A = this chain, B = another copy of it.
């Protein structure tokens, strides 16, 4: 019993999200599973941490090899609480998701799902984020769950390189229409943002963020290309954000007085 891997699960869509249930179902047969997820959706929170208010944990379930909690914090808070308060150690694997919506390309930077994954990687835990490309209201997580299981088994049998974690995005398609897995680089892209400008009853402006994602550049090695062509994309990402090429360029710039 002691040798079962300890698997930690979180997300940013909140503890009631169907994608979290799907991911729990995938990992439950694989080991002892502990879930800490935000009590409310935290999409777009990125790597926010809660420093100005206290955190609360609410135990929802405690069974043999399965515990579940909700937390009033962000996904990154959930991971920190897991290590220090609930597990008392680092888990053997961290999985986050399955996010209801894409985290491909630059969307990784806004993603609470992937923030939890970075937080895992920074502690040396093999960590994977799963996101399903949304397609209206009726999200079907079944094929995504099967691919998540396959990818988790591979990661658990291999050695994740230091500092690396995985950003997995999955097309919203029936299983037999997904062509397989592709290892990719993060596609270039941008949000062509706009604001819906409205007036409140007192005549003052307020602004709703809205935007359309636009891919920049192409290349058959990107996650966006893989997803468009019905593949599951895996981008290995690193929390060292240094641009090593730029170092040599900047060393030639003059910063002296």
Query: B255 and A209: CB pair below 8 A?
Result: no
Give Cα A241–Cα B194 distance, bound, in whole angstroms: 25
Could you tell me the distance between the alpha carbons of A63 and B126 in the complex, rounded to whole angstroms? Answer: 53
In this complex, what residue of B is CB-closest to A83? B193
Provide the bound-state CA to CA distance between A243 and B164, in Å.
7
Q: Is the CB of B237 within 8 A of A185?
A: no
B255–A109 contact, CB under 8 A?
no
Q: How far is the CA of A136 from the CA of B161 in the complex (A)?
A: 38
**B-chain residues with CB within 8 Å of residue A57 when the two chains form the complex:** 205, 207
Map CB proximity to B onto A164-200 as digits: 1 under 8 Å, 0 otherwise. 1000000000000000110111101011011101100
Indicate which residue in B158, B206, B246 contacts A56 across the interface (CB closer than 8 Å): B206
Residues of chain A from 216 to 257 with CB closer than 8 A to chain B in the complex: 234-247, 249-251, 253-257
A33 at the interface (CB under 8 A from B): no
Which of A51, A154, A246 is the most central at the interface, judged by chain B CB atoms within 10 Å of its CB?
A246
List the interface of chain A (C-beta within 8 A of B).
41, 43-52, 54-57, 76-77, 80-81, 83-85, 106, 108-110, 115, 118, 122-123, 150-151, 154, 158, 161, 163-164, 180-181, 183-186, 188, 190-191, 193-195, 197-198, 204-209, 234-247, 249-251, 253-257
